Amino acid sequence: MFRHTQQTQYNCAPDQPDALYAMKLQELIGGAYGEMTVALQYLFQGWNTRIPGKYKDLIMDTATEELGHVEMISIMIARLLEGAPAEQTSAAAAANPALAAVLGGQNPQHAIVAGGGAVLADSAGYPWNGKYIVASGNLMADFMANAGAEAQGRLQTARLYNMTDDKGVRDMLRFNLARDTCHQQQWLAAIEMLKADGLETLPVPSAFGTDTEYTEHSNEIWGLSDGTAGPGALSKTSVDGTLEFEYLLDPQPLGPIPDVPAADPLLYATVDGGSRSVAGGTAPASGSGGLLEKAKEALTGAEPGTHTKAGGKNES
Amino acid sequence: MFRHTQQTQYNCAPDQPDALYAMKLQELIGGAYGEMTVALQYLFQGWNTRIPGKYKDLIMDTATEELGHVEMISIMIARLLEGAPAEQTSAAAAANPALAAVLGGQNPQHAIVAGGGAVLADSAGYPWNGKYIVASGNLMADFMANAGAEAQGRLQTARLYNMTDDKGVRDMLRFNLARDTCHQQQWLAAIEMLKADGLETLPVPSAFGTDTEYTEHSNEIWGLSDGTAGPGALSKTSVDGTLEFEYLLDPQPLGPIPDVPAADPLLYATVDGGSRSVAGGTAPASGSGGLLEKAKEALTGAEPGTHTKAGGKNES
Amino acid sequence: MFRHTQQTQYNCAPDQPDALYAMKLQELIGGAYGEMTVALQYLFQGWNTRIPGKYKDLIMDTATEELGHVEMISIMIARLLEGAPAEQTSAAAAANPALAAVLGGQNPQHAIVAGGGAVLADSAGYPWNGKYIVASGNLMADFMANAGAEAQGRLQTARLYNMTDDKGVRDMLRFNLARDTCHQQQWLAAIEMLKADGLETLPVPSAFGTDTEYTEHSNEIWGLSDGTAGPGALSKTSVDGTLEFEYLLDPQPLGPIPDVPAADPLLYATVDGGSRSVAGGTAPASGSGGLLEKAKEALTGAEPGTHTKAGGKNES
Amino acid sequence: MFRHTQQTQYNCAPDQPDALYAMKLQELIGGAYGEMTVALQYLFQGWNTRIPGKYKDLIMDTATEELGHVEMISIMIARLLEGAPAEQTSAAAAANPALAAVLGGQNPQHAIVAGGGAVLADSAGYPWNGKYIVASGNLMADFMANAGAEAQGRLQTARLYNMTDDKGVRDMLRFNLARDTCHQQQWLAAIEMLKADGLETLPVPSAFGTDTEYTEHSNEIWGLSDGTAGPGALSKTSVDGTLEFEYLLDPQPLGPIPDVPAADPLLYATVDGGSRSVAGGTAPASGSGGLLEKAKEALTGAEPGTHTKAGGKNES
Amino acid sequence: MFRHTQQTQYNCAPDQPDALYAMKLQELIGGAYGEMTVALQYLFQGWNTRIPGKYKDLIMDTATEELGHVEMISIMIARLLEGAPAEQTSAAAAANPALAAVLGGQNPQHAIVAGGGAVLADSAGYPWNGKYIVASGNLMADFMANAGAEAQGRLQTARLYNMTDDKGVRDMLRFNLARDTCHQQQWLAAIEMLKADGLETLPVPSAFGTDTEYTEHSNEIWGLSDGTAGPGALSKTSVDGTLEFEYLLDPQPLGPIPDVPAADPLLYATVDGGSRSVAGGTAPASGSGGLLEKAKEALTGAEPGTHTKAGGKNES
Amino acid sequence: MFRHTQQTQYNCAPDQPDALYAMKLQELIGGAYGEMTVALQYLFQGWNTRIPGKYKDLIMDTATEELGHVEMISIMIARLLEGAPAEQTSAAAAANPALAAVLGGQNPQHAIVAGGGAVLADSAGYPWNGKYIVASGNLMADFMANAGAEAQGRLQTARLYNMTDDKGVRDMLRFNLARDTCHQQQWLAAIEMLKADGLETLPVPSAFGTDTEYTEHSNEIWGLSDGTAGPGALSKTSVDGTLEFEYLLDPQPLGPIPDVPAADPLLYATVDGGSRSVAGGTAPASGSGGLLEKAKEALTGAEPGTHTKAGGKNES
ipTM: 0.89
Q: What span, in angstroms and rounded, lies between the C-alpha atoms of E226 and B283?
A: 68
Q: How far apart are CA F18 and CA F79, in angstroms?
A: 9
pLDDT at A239: 92
Residue from B129, B296, B303 whose CB has the most chain F CBs within 10 Å, to mutate: B129
Cβ contacts of B209 within 8 Å, gap of 6 or more: E277, E279, E280
In angstroms, the separation between the Cα of residue D266 and the nearest Cα of chain F is 6
With contacts defined as CB-CB under 8 Å, which chain C residues touch A99?
Answer: 97, 101
Facing D212 at nearest CB: one of B160, B270, B280: B280
Chains in contact with D, where contact means 3 or more Cβ–Cβ distances below 8 Å, are A, B, C, E, F
Across the interface, whether the CB atoms of F67 and B67 are under 8 A apart is answered yes
Task: Write down the mean pLDDT value for chain C.
Answer: 86
> What digits encode the pLDDT tens for the residues F10-19?
999 999 999 9
D131 and chain C: CB distance < 8 Å anywhere?
A: yes
- Evaluate if residue E315 carries a pLDDT over 60: no
Q: DSSP letter at A222?
A: E
* Nearest to C263, CA basis, from D178, B294, E34, A138: A138
Whether A104 contacts chain B with CB within 8 A: no
F193: pLDDT strictly greater than 90: yes
Cβ separation F280–C212 shorter than 8 A: yes
Query: Which A-chain residues 294-313 have CB contacts (< 8 A) with chain F?
Result: none
Burial class (CB in 10 A: 0-12, 13-18, 19+), C44: buried
Residues 6+ apart with CB under 8 A from B94: E96, E97, E98, F299, F300
Verify whether the Cβ–Cβ distance E27 to B108 is below 8 Å.
yes
* In the predicted structure, residue E286 carries a pLDDT above the cut 60: no
Report whether pLDDT(D21) > 60: yes
Question: In this structure, are residues A197 and F120 in contact, taking their beta carbons and an 8 Å threshold?
Answer: no
Q: Between A306 and B99, name the one with better pLDDT.
A: B99
Q: What is the DSSP letter of D262?
A: P
Q: Does E95 touch chain D (CB under 8 A)?
A: yes
| Beta-carbon contacts of residue E206 (< 8 Å; ≥ 6 apart) | D275, E140, E200
How would residue D289 be classed by pLDDT, with cut points 50, 70 and 90? very low
Rounded to whole angstroms, the Cα distance separating B190 from E300 reads 42
Which residues sit opposite B129 in a β-bridge?
A: F129
Q: Give C75's contacts in chain D (Cβ within 8 Å).
A: 258, 260
pLDDT at B235: 76
User: pLDDT tens string for chain B (316 positions)?
Assistant: 999 999 999 999 999 999 999 999 999 999 999 999 999 999 999 999 998 889 999 999 999 999 999 999 999 999 999 987 777 666 777 777 777 777 778 899 999 999 999 999 999 999 999 999 999 999 999 999 999 999 999 999 999 999 999 999 999 999 999 999 999 999 999 999 999 999 999 999 999 989 999 999 999 999 999 986 665 667 789 999 999 999 999 999 999 999 998 778 899 999 876 555 666 644 443 333 334 444 444 444 433 333 333 333 344 4
Contact predicate E105/E23, CB 8 Å: yes
- B89 in reach of chain F (CB within 8 A): no
Q: What is the reported pLDDT for F301?
A: 44
Amino acid at E285: A
Name chain B contacts of E164, Cβ cutoff 8 Å. 88
Residue A303 has pLDDT above 90, yes or no: no
Distance CA(A128)–CA(A281), nearest Å, equals 47
> What torsion, rounded to 10 degrees, do the Cα atoms F79, F80, F86, F92 define?
140
Mean pLDDT for chain A? Answer: 86
> Would you call A159 and E266 a contact, using CB atoms and an 8 Å cutoff?
yes
Q: Mean of the per-residue pLDDT values for chain F?
A: 86
User: Counting one residue from C and one from D, how many pairs have CB atoms under 8 Å apart?
Assistant: 508
Residues within 8 A of B (CB atoms), E 13-42 only: 18, 20, 23-24, 27, 31-32
Q: Does A2 reach chain C within 8 Å, measured CB to CB? A: yes
- Estimate the crossing angle of helix E97-105 against helix F291-300, to 10 degrees: 100
Model pLDDT, residue B92: 72
Q: Is F111 on the interface with A (CB under 8 A)?
A: yes
Q: Mark yes or no for CB contact E268/A161 under 8 Å.
A: no
Smallest Cα distance from C19 to chain D, Å: 8
Q: What is the pLDDT of residue E254?
A: 97
Q: Note the pLDDT of residue E284.
A: 41
Residue B203: asked if its preceding bond is cis (omega within 30°), the reply is yes
Q: Return the pLDDT at B287.
A: 33
Contact A42, A59 (CB under 8 A): yes
**How confident is residue C289, by pLDDT bands cut at 50, 70 and 90?**
very low
Q: What is the per-residue pLDDT for A39?
A: 98
Rounded CA gap, C110 and C29, in Å? Answer: 14
Report the residue of D89, D107, D113 to disrupt the B interface, i.e. the one with the largest count of B CBs within 10 Å.
D113
Question: Is F130 at the interface with chain B, CB within 8 A?
Answer: yes
Residues B120 and F130 sit within 8 Å (Cβ to Cβ): yes
Contacts of A301 in chain C (CB under 8 A): none
The answer to whether the peptide bond before residue B97 is cis (omega within 30 degrees of 0) is no
**A273 exposed, middle or buried (CB, 10 Å; 0-12, 13-18, 19+)?**
exposed
Summarize pLDDT for A92-102 with one digit per residue, the tens. 777 777 777 77
Asked if C215's CB is within 8 angstroms of D315's CB, the reply is no
Residue in B47, B108, B205 nearest the CB of E123:
B108
One-letter amino acid at B101 equals: A
pLDDT 10s digits, C179-202: 999 999 999 999 999 999 999 999
Could you say which residues from 272 to 291 on chain A have a Cβ atom under 8 Å away from some Cβ of chain F?
Answer: 272, 274-281
What average pLDDT is seen over chain E? Answer: 86
Does E75 contact C127 at a Cβ distance shorter than 8 Å?
no
Contact across the interface for C270 and A212, Cβ inside 8 Å: no
Q: Is the peptide bond before E205 cis (omega within 30 degrees of 0)?
A: yes
A18: nearest CB among B179, B234, B298: B298
The three-state secondary structure class of D165 is coil
> CB of F131 within 8 A of CB of E127?
no
Nearest CA to F178 out of D280, E214, E243 is that of E214
Residues of E numbered 137-156 whose beta carbons fall under 8 angstroms of chain C's beta carbons: which are they?
137-138
Answer whether residue F120 shows pLDDT above 90.
yes
Tell me which chains share at least 3 CB pairs under 8 Å with chain A.
B, C, D, E, F
Half-sphere exposure of D8 (CA within 13 A, CB side): 26
Is D294 a residue whose pLDDT tops 50? no
Buried residues in B187-224 as b, exposed as e (16+ CB within 10 A): bbbbbebbeeeebbebbbbbbbbbebbbbebbbbbbbb
E266 vs A: CB within 8 A: yes
How far away is chain E from the Cα of B219, in angstroms, using its nearest Cα?
Answer: 20
Chain A residues closer than 8 Å to F96 by CB? 97
What secondary structure does DSSP assign to chain B, as a single string? -EEE-SS-SS----SS--HHHHHHHTHHHHSTTSHHHHHHHHHHHHHT---TTHHHHHHHHHHHHHHHHHHHHHHHHHHHTTT---S--HHHHHT-HHHHHHHHHS-HHHHHTTSSS--SB-TTSPBPBGGG----S-HHHHHHHHHHHHHHHHHHHHHHHHT---HHHHHHHHHHHHHHHHHHHHHHHHHHHHHHTTS--SSSSGGG-SSSS-GGGTTEEE--B--S--TTSS-SB-TTS--B-EEESS----S-----PPPPGGG----TTS-----TT-PPPTTSSSHHHHHHHHHHT----S----TT----
- Give the span between the Cα atoms of F122 and D105, in whole angstroms: 36
Which residue is closest to E156 within chain A, CA to CA?
A267
Does the beta-carbon distance from B44 to F121 stay under 8 Å? no
Identify the weakest region by mean pLDDT among A38-47, A78-87, E159-168: A78-87
User: How distant is the alpha carbon of residue E205 from its chain centre?
Assistant: 19
pLDDT digits (tens, 9 = 90+) for A122-132: 999 999 999 99
Question: In this predicted model, what pLDDT tens digit does every residue of C305-315 receive, in sequence order?
Answer: 333 333 333 44
E-facing residues of B in 174-233 (CB < 8 A) are 194, 197-200, 205-209, 211-212
Cα separation values, C221 from D65, D303, E24, F111, Å: 10, 58, 44, 45
Q: Which of C2, C131, C301 sits opposite E3 (nearest CB)?
A: C2
Nearest to D52 among B165, B227, B259 (CB): B259
Mean pLDDT on A82-99: 74
Which one has a higher pLDDT value, B223 or F103? B223
Share of chain F above pLDDT 90, in %: 71
DSSP chain F: -EEE-SS-SS----SS--HHHHHHHTHHHHSTTSHHHHHHHHHHHHHT---TTHHHHHHHHHHHHHHHHHHHHHHHHHHHTTT---S--HHHHHT-HHHHHHHHHS-HHHHHTTSSS--SB-TTSPBPBGGG----S-HHHHHHHHHHHHHHHHHHHHHHHHT---HHHHHHHHHHHHHHHHHHHHHHHHHHHHHHTTS--SSSSGGG-SSSS-GGGTTEEE--B--S--TTSS-SB-TTS--B-EEESS----S-----PPPPGGG----TTS-----TT-PPPTTSSSHHHHHHHHHHT----S----TTS---
- Mean per-residue pLDDT, F80-93: 76
In this prediction, residue D229 carries a pLDDT of: 66
User: Per mean pLDDT, which range of A42-56, B285-299, C207-221 is the poorest?
Assistant: B285-299
